[in-house]
Chain A
Amino acid sequence: MTRFVIRRILAMLVVMIVISIVTFLLFEAIPNGNPAFRLAGRTATAAEIHQIEVKYGFDKPIFVQYARTMKNIFTGQAYSYTQGFNVLDEIRAGAPATLSLALGAGFIWLFISVVIGTVAAVRAGKYTDRVLTVLAMAGVSFPPFFLGAVLLYFLGYKAGIFPLEGYVKLTQNPVQWFMHLVLPWVTLSVLFIGFYSRVLRSNILDTANEDFVRAARAKGLSERQVLLRHILRNSLLPIISLWGLDLAQVIGGGAILTESVYNLHGIGQLAADSIGRLDIVPILVIVMLTAFAVVVLAAVIDILYAYLDPRIRLV
């Protein structure tokens, strides 16, 4: 077990280092000219530009710049070249909206997809299953920005039930916080419900053929007990780990489409706005930290699995 954990953590660190290098190089490749020109403004003299190049280290070799950028990010000193704000402060400012969106939607999509997936598996091949399959496929086919626009138009603008955009802090006004988040939650959940319910359905159908399920039936348990205690419990494990990874992505700005169609000013929208301005540093930090979160969570999940199921350690 120790050997497995060490190997898995080493692999994780290698991937994280490669991610940081790849992300850095990717953004270095954006040729919006020398960032020093942007920082110096239009009327800058050659001497002023050179001064800025020295100050920010743009004249140094690329690996020195890489080391410097990483140091700045992890000491909280990363500043936007075009806007001047501290990137980590901006991310912190966007975090409440993104966390509200991610956690609310996360629990909605987990709960509903477990219900739908279980029903579809129990009724596999029957009419209910076919209808749920088509609905799930429809769910994964809706781009969030289109679904968001439709919901906003009909429920927000036409019916006037929900506010049109923006985010209200929970501490400021809990009722308004809720009303502003209902549509974003629904929009983000639809996609994941369609996807998760299909995965759970096939997991349940696979587990139902296992020997321990036959043993449970043989010892006289009711179908309900077999389903809830033996089949569902085993089928849920992959769903929960998937959920952890997806939640990490959504918190890290992966809900960029939902956030920008509802104007929530979260981390995803910060990324979208920065891309629009070709502002390198914020998008670099967001993309890199999100990828880090996914890699770390994936390692944690692998180790947990190996702890729960010794067969995996051999691989």
Chain B
Amino acid sequence: MATTSASGTEFSEGLNAGFETGGGELPPGLGPWRLAWRRLRRNKVALFFGGLFLLIVVVCLLAPVYSQDVAHLGPNTGNITGTVNVGGHAQNIVSLTGIPIGPTWHSQYFFGADTNGRDTAVRLLYGGRNSLEVGAIATVLTMVLALILGVAAGYFRGLADGLISRGLDVIWAYPAVLLGITLGTVIAVNGIGPIQANNLLVPAFVIGIVYIPYVAKPVRAQVLTLREREFIDAARQQGLSHAHIMFGELLPNLASTIIVFVPLILANAILLEAALSYLGVGVEPPAPSWGNMITTGLSTIPAAFSNVLVPGIMLVLTVMSINIFGDGLRDAFDPRAKVRIAH
């Protein structure tokens, strides 16, 4: 008898425990957003790199503070003939043979100077601001245009879909860098309407166009399935306008797709900006960007390799932290998502 009752208790205890763990893992009433946040919070690596990215953004936004209060040098303050006081004795900022000074680890010329005697650290922060700004504008442009095109193509189908999809195929067929330099050259010389040459908007505009198909195509595919669902039928029965259905009913259902794509496009936009600036059709000097700083640095290797290394490492760290955070975001929102982008 004793054994039976004991085993009975064990059994019921086990049962209760099972219910408890089941309830603990999936409490009722958690929406998809809360679920995604719970998954993301557990991913410490992604959170760390997300924090690193925020830190980089804040530091770059503080560029004017560093420039005025620490280095006392502007991003374009050249000083080819001057000297800087390092450890008690003066050193040439740019040597007589044209080699710029390396990192001094002091408030002035912390990371050294470039061939024009400009402070690399100051330019690094201003350049970061430009690179991030171009990336951000391009990302907004890509997302807005891709959403409009993708939603319209998927919602209207038929002729509109055919035209938009073929148009996307055309953009998609060009290798990103080749299309970027082509558009970059055309606009850099010509300017399009209010967008004039020597403006950050030029590379932002070019990059914004290049990445549209990579977002618009998956959005279209998703809208094609969404539009068959009952809530869209209901909206149509109510007599809502096309615009209302597309942006009031369909768009909110694309929220997780949008969130997953933003870091992906941002990372690639910053990389493409660097590539365009490297080829001379991105951010125009003297305005600094990480890409054109690397290009300037390449002209003095092997003597002053730090001028390539410093902006390059910042660029890689930034893009990498966006990518790793974005990967965590993707896992959190849709563990089975197949989001990808070609280079």
Residue interface bits A258-280, CB-to-B below 8 A is 1, else 0: 00100000000001100110100
A29-B186, A283-B182 given; A145·B278 CB < 8 A: yes
Please state if B190 and A19 are interface contacts (CB–CB under 8 Å).
no
**Does B323 make an interface contact (CB < 8 A)?**
yes
**Does B32 make an interface contact (CB < 8 A)?**
no
In the assembled complex, how far is the CB of residue A167 from the closest CB belonging to chain B, in whole angstroms?
A: 19
Which of A134, A192, A206 sits near B45, CB closer than 8 Å? A134
Bound Cα distance A286, B308 (Å): 30
Give the residues in chain A near B323, CB-CB below 8 Å: 137, 140-141
Which parts of B153-180 form the interface with A (CB within 8 Å)? 166-167, 169-170, 172-175, 177-179
A141-B319, A202-B338 given; A256·B327 CB < 8 A: no
Interface-facing stretch out of B81-89, B95-103, B106-114, B298-306:
B298-306
In the assembled complex, how far is the CB of residue B46 from the closest CB belonging to chain A, in whole angstroms?
A: 10
Which of B45, B337, B342 sits near A245, CB closer than 8 Å? B342
In the assembled complex, how far is the CB of residue A186 from the closest CB belonging to chain B, in whole angstroms?
A: 16
Report whether over half of chain A's contact residues are helix, strand or loop; otherwise say mixed: helix
- Could you say which of B174, B186, B342 has the most chain A C-beta atoms within 10 Å of its C-beta? B174
Give the residues in chain B near A27, CB-CB below 8 Å: 182, 186
A137-B320, A143-B278, A256-B178 given; A130·B45 CB < 8 A: yes
Bound Cα distance A31, B197 (Å): 13
How many residue pairs, one in A and one in B, have C-beta atoms under 8 Å apart? 155
Closest to A291 in B: B173
**Does A146 make an interface contact (CB < 8 A)?**
yes
Please state if B279 and A14 are interface contacts (CB–CB under 8 Å).
no
**Does A287 make an interface contact (CB < 8 A)?**
yes
Please state if A138 and B320 are interface contacts (CB–CB under 8 Å).
yes
In the assembled complex, how far is the CB of residue B18 from the closest CB belonging to chain A, in whole angstroms?
A: 23
Residue interface bits A2-33, CB-to-B below 8 A is 1, else 0: 00000000010011001100110011011110
**Does B245 make an interface contact (CB < 8 A)?**
no
Please state if A153 and B320 are interface contacts (CB–CB under 8 Å).
no
Which of A32, A140, A191, A290 sits near B174, CB closer than 8 Å? A290
Bound Cα distance A141, B275 (Å): 12
Give the residues in chain B near A133, CB-CB below 8 Å: 45, 324, 327
**Does A168 make an interface contact (CB < 8 A)?**
no
Closest to B339 in A: A202
In the assembled complex, how far is the CB of residue B192 from the closest CB belonging to chain A, in whole angstroms?
A: 9
Please state if A254 and B170 are interface contacts (CB–CB under 8 Å).
no
